[in-house]
A and B are shown apart, each in its own frame.
Chain A
Amino acid sequence: MVTLVVVALVPFLYTVYLSLHEMQYARVGAWAGLENYRVLLGSPRFWHSVAISALFVAITVPLEFGLGLAGALILNQGVRLRSIIVPLLFVPTMMAPIVVAILWKIMLAGSWGLVSYNVLERFGILTDTSVLASPALALYALVFIDVWQWTPFVLLALFAGLQSLPVAPYRAAQVDGATALQTFRRLTLPLMAPLMAVIVLLRIIDAFKIFDTIFLLTGGGPGTATESVSLLAYKMVFDFWNLGAATATAVVVWVMFFAFSNVFYQLLKRTLRTS
């Protein structure tokens, strides 16, 4: 535990330290106090990126959770050829995000993408633009890719959870004559609650940080339609070399999530206690 604390803390503390100073490229300048934060929090571009990231999370996580849970339940019912289906199903999560991004570029690129040509052009959809060039659709395309890639993760984790549940309570419920729905609501859900909460929280945090796909597919565009927080941070670090703003971003996001997880966790504890 001590290792973890030390290892994780040092870079993070250094980040906080940097965010409190004027950064001259990579050289630490004068003490700037909260100046970097003031500029960042006053920047509409930053809040726009937060909104985009939040919107992205709000759509993908429920989808992934719903589909993942459904899938885990189905698998748990007993499915033939499970040993082949599970790995195949899991392929998207196993691929490196950077490869996934390239793969979907091959699928969705305007005019020469596989999907673009075979599906969209053939059916005459989107004749005046392409998926990734349309401000409205680009974000949804990214949502789709994220769901494609991470639902299996949710599925596997929940499936393992279902498999790990103790048998005795279920036998007892059967003896008591509980219906499937009752068993699910009264037994499965509460037992699975901690795991489900953790998975959801993890997905929220990870989805918020999405980077690889956006970077390779849209570059944050069209305009700033898909400019997530991570992408803006990337630009601040590697294009503008504005380390003050970038480190302040890291700290702000961290604080936001810390607060959010606290609330989330308190809610979880309360639900667990009442069940």
Chain B
Amino acid sequence: MGERTARRRVMLFTGLAAVWALAAALPVVWMALMMFKPEAIMFERPPVWIFTPTLAHVDYVLAHGFLWNLVTSMLVAGASTVLVVVVGTPAAYALARFPLARRDDLLLFVLATRMAPPVALAIPFYLIYARVGLLDSYLGLVVAYLTFNLSFYIWVLWSFCRELPVELEEAARADGYPRGRVLLQVVLPLLRPGIIATAVLCFIFAWNEFLYAFMLGGKAVETLPVAVPKLITSQGVKWGELSIVGIVALAPVLAVVFLLQRHIVRGLTMGAVKG
């Protein structure tokens, strides 16, 4: 393919991707504007794009402890993700490599924990937790998140593991490396994009989860999504404050993805797949 055609293709694709990204982000941009918009013109028709910003919404959010919700969310989502990666990676690898009896059933069962509607499971969870005293506790919520995040992680990573050519590992084994070292030195680096991508997704699920956090949390453990309905009051919805919470909830996740994407993306020169 000629150099010029290749470059033109890249520009075209970049253009497409950029348009798509903008379309996806536009409603969010509007929401970001709402963070500083005075309430009286919030839903003015026609919509107002230029206005004198106000910090009233920011003040309200800070005064009502949303910062602490942010911290709680970070703790719960962070702990949950770390736990999932530590427990899930070896499990996924084992499922992909070792011939286990009834492996398929086990695999499906792993996924099954994710299948029932959380809404219906919420009260049984609540009742069990009430009895064992896990309500309104960090441990309780992290464990609850395990039930759906772990299965997700294992499943996705399992498929990444399957993609890896067995030859590399067999070669290392033939060279006399013990299994553990094979895992650490050969497999993990190859799995890195997969692990990071999946871990990021698990983090996002835990970070944004609402129902369990609401039912099983309480005063001590209140994550950001649970704090959102507090802004839907009988005096109307506090749209400005909601926008702030929504955007702030987005920021850490955005940062994480932004920082880690390099690990996911292999360099332009490395084996770009011609598909």
Chain A–chain B contact at Cβ < 8 A: yes
CB-contact partner of A98 in B115, B225, B239, under 8 A: B225
B174 within 8 Å of A (CB atoms): no
A157 contacts B156, CB within 8 Å? yes
A39 within 8 Å of B (CB atoms): no
- With known contacts A79-B17, A86-B265, A95-B246, A15–B120 Cβ distance under 8 A: yes
Contacts of A236 in B (CB 8 A): 120
Please report which residues of chain B, range 15-52, place their CB below 8 angstroms from some CB of chain A when the two chains form the complex: 16-18, 20-22, 24-25, 27-28, 30-31, 34, 43, 45-47
A167 contacts B116, CB within 8 Å? no
| Stretch of B56-64, B176-184, B206-214 on the interface side | B206-214
Alpha-carbon distance A234/B20, docked complex (angstroms) = 35
A86 contacts B257, CB within 8 Å? yes
CB-contact partner of B147 in A11, A102, A199, under 8 A: A11
Alpha-carbon distance A7/B148, docked complex (angstroms) = 10
Alpha-carbon distance A79/B18, docked complex (angstroms) = 10
CB-contact partner of A198 in B47, B155, B271, under 8 A: B155
Interchain nearest-CB distance for B123 vs A (Å) = 6
A112 within 8 Å of B (CB atoms): yes
B273 contacts A165, CB within 8 Å? yes
A96 contacts B24, CB within 8 Å? no
A86 contacts B261, CB within 8 Å? yes
| Stretch of A57-65, A129-137, A218-226, A243-251 on the interface side | A243-251
Please report which residues of chain A, range 16-69, place their CB below 8 angstroms from some CB of chain B when the two chains form the complex: 18, 26
A80 contacts B10, CB within 8 Å? yes
A140 within 8 Å of B (CB atoms): no
A162 contacts B43, CB within 8 Å? no
Q: How many residues of A sit at the interface, in one of the four size bands?
A: 35 or more
Alpha-carbon distance A11/B114, docked complex (angstroms) = 12
Alpha-carbon distance A259/B253, docked complex (angstroms) = 35
A275 within 8 Å of B (CB atoms): no
Contacts of B249 in A (CB 8 A): 95-96, 99
CB-contact partner of B123 in A162, A243, A265, under 8 A: A243
Contacts of A230 in B (CB 8 A): 117-119
Write the chain B residue with the least CB distance to A248.
Answer: B120
Interface Cβ pair total, 8 Å cutoff: 303
B75 within 8 Å of A (CB atoms): no
A164 contacts B193, CB within 8 Å? yes
- With known contacts A167-B270, A250-B116, A14–B127 Cβ distance under 8 A: yes
A10 within 8 Å of B (CB atoms): yes
B156 contacts A198, CB within 8 Å? yes
Contact with B along A74-110 (1 / 0, CB 8 A): 1111111111011111111111111100111011000
Interchain nearest-CB distance for B177 vs A (Å) = 20
CB-contact partner of B194 in A4, A90, A164, under 8 A: A164
A217 within 8 Å of B (CB atoms): no
Contact with A along B190-215 (1 / 0, CB 8 A): 11011011100100100110110000
Q: What is the interface of chain B, defined by CB distance below 8 A to chain A? A: 9-11, 13-14, 16-18, 20-22, 24-25, 27-28, 30-31, 34, 43, 45-47, 87, 91, 94, 104, 107-125, 127-128, 143, 146-147, 150-152, 154-156, 158-160, 162-165, 190-191, 193-194, 196-198, 201, 204, 207-208, 210-211, 224-225, 228-229, 237, 239, 242, 245-246, 249-250, 253-254, 257-258, 261-262, 264-266, 268, 270-275
Q: What is the interface of chain A, defined by CB distance below 8 A to chain B? A: 1, 3-5, 7-12, 14-15, 18, 26, 71, 73-83, 85-99, 102-104, 106-107, 112, 114, 117-118, 148, 152-153, 156-157, 159-168, 170, 174, 180, 183-184, 188, 191-192, 194-195, 197-199, 201-202, 205, 209, 211-212, 229-230, 233-234, 236-237, 243, 246-247, 249-251, 253-254, 257-258, 261-262, 265, 269
